[in-house]
Structure 1
């Protein structure tokens, strides 16, 4: 390494430690499917990878892991013969998947008709719901299932009650039935007993259990039909159990519903009946709520949790039973000090939670009696632990416009396949990720013939290759450390 390069490294490190604002979370920019997690009931988990495959682990009663058996799985296993999936959902004992062709598939318990196939027969493998098409998103909670169609209509099936937006009608629905009143819906969310939907013009509708004020319309009554609530500039509305969490476009967090120690709101009376801003947290980009607890992701990629911490289920490193943390605390890793950072998405379940980091790894915490944390054992975790052998981004493939995180050990390298869609100059560049890194880039053709190499791009610790690619041709880009050192960096293609 020459003197100029050493000087750049020293100055860069000084700037980094002197001001954390240099750090920015790196995301995977161009996956064909948005990875997603689903925490099923309190006993199993689902994951959707960017390649459209679905993975499941934990309790397998009624066949809800979709592998044709009822044997529990302590680590993720792919759901067989299920591809081209773009969305997933999990209820208490059933699972669903939405394919890119708009069809919905379901499996697991069907005691209340929640699989939507017109029967009450359990299914151990994915089965298509015959009456559904043109679906763009799905959700599930308890023994109910929901689907949003491309025409803006919302459909529900499973347990019949005043929780489903079907009025006072009772009885189970074994096939999808349209939710009353709501039209032009673009997104929705389902909690344990109540639900929300957002229309194209930003109107927020809610319905279901409202005895604790969780509907947000100023009353403490059940709403069997959807009603409009006053919550302008909403980015997300997340119904929980007896409370609701809201996120506005300005990054502020709001809540309404029960004010028990086991819930996520703050008030002196028994309930908050209308949306009220939650103090002590802002700059939030994502929220999730369930089981009397909530988690929020801030713009800097840090993860914060609050609410009921029974058995340490918040993941904040505290095991105190039956304690409520109404002030947000950071989710931490195994040393109980280091925070979980670079978080892209979080899913709070009834007693366990799941998170996706920007590098595609999956992390979990909470109850683990059935192996739902995916760690290969049944040890409860009151801090975030990594799910074994699961990466949701297909990082062996990289496309124009992508930025991926690269982490390799000493003496190793990482290769990515790039297929050119058009002819012209394409630039491959490494950059900063968490720590400064001295990188080397090698570009090969599909026969592994070396086309170009670069170290010390512009006399810095990073590397860059610009190459005139040919449409339809496949190239291999290799990232390695200077003199085979370990490294952390990003790789971008422009």
Structure 2
């Protein structure tokens, strides 16, 4: 029947392109084809304060907290809007530690950046105190099929079902010299997924079984040597389809849609079923949070370390096709339109949205590309999206546009206790836009006060300026495609 339906669809394709069919609704066929051509997310992961995503075109984007270089842009500047990570192609999975990022390519090679992997670089003329090293290839990992990141040792699952643990170490005589140690996990074969909880590696087999192996020697405070590994211990015999862990808590997804919980530090003999959880098809963890995707496309969350907390549905998430977790308080989901959504109790790891504090899920912004007078421009500082409008630091596109930026100070303001405020002036073509950084901000065009609603927020360690307002008042053309992220400024060839 499916083959017959495909043949019929193929025969009628010219008709479907000519009419507004019910499948496409009000969207034209040409627009649908264009939409389908955009990259879609294939893997998303979150650290304690940053996010990273792999896309169907093999590219990787990252965003958020960046003090360790975990965004991968070569800086330690926080990035509120995602940036594409240069040097990565054909990526099929991403993963994240607290302050580190990892990418797995289709050849089975693994790349790392961020904490431990991207050291500070001194003496850079543009970024004297904010330059970080770039990506490194983990040479000891080959033919990798999947990654699991943990503070107790990260695990690479190989295509043949075996596994390797790796961890960065530092030379005791040179704390800046980092090396990565690798060793195979003895006794692991035919594994589907592996997670690390506490000192234990939990191995989900392709047959639905779950086994356990101690990988850390707590007596000597180091990972076990290969000769020290003991026999793998069975935990669950069969019927498990998914596994997730955070610190010492382990969650198992049963094939019947229920969830089991187990803690490696307790004397609990076997995982126990969590009451009230049914019809679950996917599980992920955050910091003391369990995220669950149900069969009906809704997402549920359980803050399990609170004894009074009960699982609740995350409002605003429907039609979800994939679920992703983090090391922090943020969850990620992919909807049927191929968009990445974020939610959590804190800032959603720099998703680039001004709605992060209202409790509702937000769409993670696409990376922005900048063209000024027909030339591609890039800059280190972060851009931002505030109340649906685009903001940039002064060290961004203004110089490329030929705009002169000057910082001054206002006269004492009696409405604000005679306080003096910074005044930023942007001059171009004989016109000047000035913004007094009071609350609310005051906008002047050629010295005359306007009624413009504006602000100069301090974000990512920089004052941010309303780009659309400034360019419009100075007569500079600007367009921003919010779907593709393309920003075009000034004259076009």
TM-score range normalised by the length of the shorter chain: 0.5 to 0.7
2:284–2:323: 8 Å Cα contact kept in structure 1? no
Question: Which of residues 158, 162, 183 in structure 2 aligns to 1:153?
Answer: 162
Question: Which of residues 281, 293, 297 in structure 1 aligns to 2:293?
Answer: 297
Q: Which residue of 1 aligns with 2:395?
A: none
The answer to whether 1:56 aligns with 2:39 is no
Structure with higher strand content: 1
Question: Which of residues 43, 47, 54 in structure 2 aligns to 1:36?
Answer: 43
| RMSD (Å) for aligned C-alpha atoms | 3.6
Deviation at 1:231, TM superposition (A): 4.5
Deviation at 1:69, TM superposition (A): 1.2
Q: Which residue of 2 aligns with 1:327?
A: 310
Q: Separation in 1 of the partners of 2:68 and 2:156?
A: 22
Deviation at 1:89, TM superposition (A): 0.9
Deviation at 1:379, TM superposition (A): 4.6
Q: Separation in 1 of the partners of 2:332 and 2:41?
A: 16
User: Any idea what the Cα deviations from partners look like across 1:225-264, whole Å, max 9, x if unmatched?
Assistant: 74221242000121222321111112121112289xxxxx
2:41–2:340: 8 Å Cα contact kept in structure 1? no
- Cα 1:233/1:131, change in 2 over 3 Å: same
Q: Which residue of 1 aligns with 2:329?
A: 351
User: Any idea what the Cα deviations from partners look like across 1:93-139, whole Å, max 9, x if unmatched?
Assistant: 211111111111111121799xxxxxxxx963221112222111112
Deviation at 1:273, TM superposition (A): 3.9
If asked which structure has higher relative contact order (CA below 8 Å, sep 6+), I would say 1
Alignment TM-score, normalising by the size of structure 1:
0.55
- Cα 1:151/1:209, change in 2 over 3 Å: closer
2:291–2:331: 8 Å Cα contact kept in structure 1? no
The answer to whether 1:250 aligns with 2:235 is no
Alignment TM-score, normalising by the size of structure 2:
0.55
Q: How many residues align?
A: 304
Q: Which residue of 2 aligns with 1:385?
A: 362
- Cα 1:308/1:235, change in 2 over 3 Å: closer
Q: Separation in 2 of the partners of 1:127 and 1:112?
A: 8
Q: Which residue of 2 aligns with 1:174?
A: 180
The answer to whether 1:102 aligns with 2:80 is no
2:212–2:235: 8 Å Cα contact kept in structure 1? yes
Q: Separation in 1 of the partners of 2:98 and 2:202?
A: 19
Deviation at 1:355, TM superposition (A): 1.4
User: Any idea what the Cα deviations from partners look like across 1:262-303, whole Å, max 9, x if unmatched?
Assistant: xxxxxxxx8744111112121111011232211111111011
Q: Separation in 1 of the partners of 2:154 and 2:113?
A: 12
Q: Separation in 2 of the partners of 1:208 and 1:377?
A: 44
Q: Separation in 1 of the partners of 2:359 and 2:40?
A: 31
- Cα 1:69/1:130, change in 2 over 3 Å: same
4+ residue segments displaced more than 6 Å: 28-34
Question: Which of residues 84, 89, 110 in structure 1 aligns to 2:90?
Answer: 84
Structure with max Cα Rg? 2
